[in-house]
Amino acid sequence: MIARELILETVMRIPEGRVATYGQVARAAGLPGRARLVGKSLRGLGAESIVPWQRVLGAGGRISIPDAQTARLQRDLLQDEGVRFSGKRVLLAGQLWDEGLDD
C-alpha cells in the first residue's frame, strides 16, 4: 500500500468549501503522526492537479506553504469556493471537513 496514494485519495474526499489540516488528513488516511508526509505528498501538485490540495491547511487554519506565490494561489482558490478567512488564517469553525459524512 502506497501512503502517498492513501493521502491523495483522502484529500480528494474533502468537499468544496470545506478545509482540513495536515494532521487530520493523515489520521483520516489511516496514517496517524504522518502529517509531514501529507505535505510532502502535496508538494509538487499544481493548478493542473485534480487533487484539491488547496483545502489542506496547517494547524489552526494557517497556510503552511513556503512559496509565497503558491500560498497566494491557495488563498485565492479557497476564497473563490466560499471559504472564509480571518486575516491570514482560515476560520475552521463550521468549515472544517467532517471526516465522517461527505458534504
Contacts of 93 (CB under 8 A, 6+ apart): none
Question: Applying CB under 7 A, does 95 fall inside the site for DNA?
Answer: no
89: phi then psi, degrees, rounded to nearest 5:
-105, 155
* Helix (H/G/I), strand (E/B), else coil: 58: coil
Binding residue (CB under 7 A) for DNA from 23, 75, 92, 99: 23
Nearest-CA neighbor of 53 among 82, 30, 20?
20
- Please identify, among the stretches 59-67, 75-83, 91-99, the one whose residues bind DNA according to the rule CB under 7 A: 59-67
Could you say whether residue 13 binds DNA (CB under 7 A)? no
Contacts with DNA, residue ranges (CB under 7 A): 3, 21-24, 33-40, 42-45, 53-54, 56, 58-59, 64-66, 70, 74
